[in-house]
């Protein structure tokens, strides 16, 4: 929610996003409360944990790469610690029989 509010502030001329936010505020009391709270947060690299139905528990670090020419766009990359159990499990997903 906070990242969406932060992105909306970057691009004033993004009318499609404004219309979508206006619709959500009107149709979803939950969204309206969250949006009104105005909790804008800066993205910080960190650790995430997932549970994959085949691989089990996976822990990955993630970073956000900014697009210099388009500050409203970014690429978030997730990666396991090299040599970790999470890396082994993710590699196992790549080699699953098709």
Task: Give the model confidence (pLDDT) of 46-80 as tens digits.
Answer: 888 999 999 999 999 988 888 888 888 888 899 99
The CA distances from residue 91 to 31, 34, 48, 80, in Å, are: 38, 38, 18, 10
pLDDT digits (tens, 9 = 90+) for 15-41: 577 888 889 999 999 888 888 887 666
Residues in the chain: 98
């Amino acid at each position: 929610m906070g990242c969406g509010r932060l992105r909306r502030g970057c691009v004033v001329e993004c009318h499609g996003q404004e219309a979508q936010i206006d619709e959500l505020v009107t149709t979803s009391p939950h969204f309206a409360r969250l949006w009104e709270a105005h909790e804008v947060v800066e993205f910080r690299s960190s650790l995430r944990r997932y549970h994959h139905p085949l691989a089990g528990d996976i822990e990955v670090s993630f970073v956000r790469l900014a697009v210099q020419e388009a500050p409203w766009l970014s690429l978030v990359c997730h990666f396991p610690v090299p040599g970790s159990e999470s890396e082994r499990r993710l590699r196992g997903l790549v080699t699953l029989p098709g």
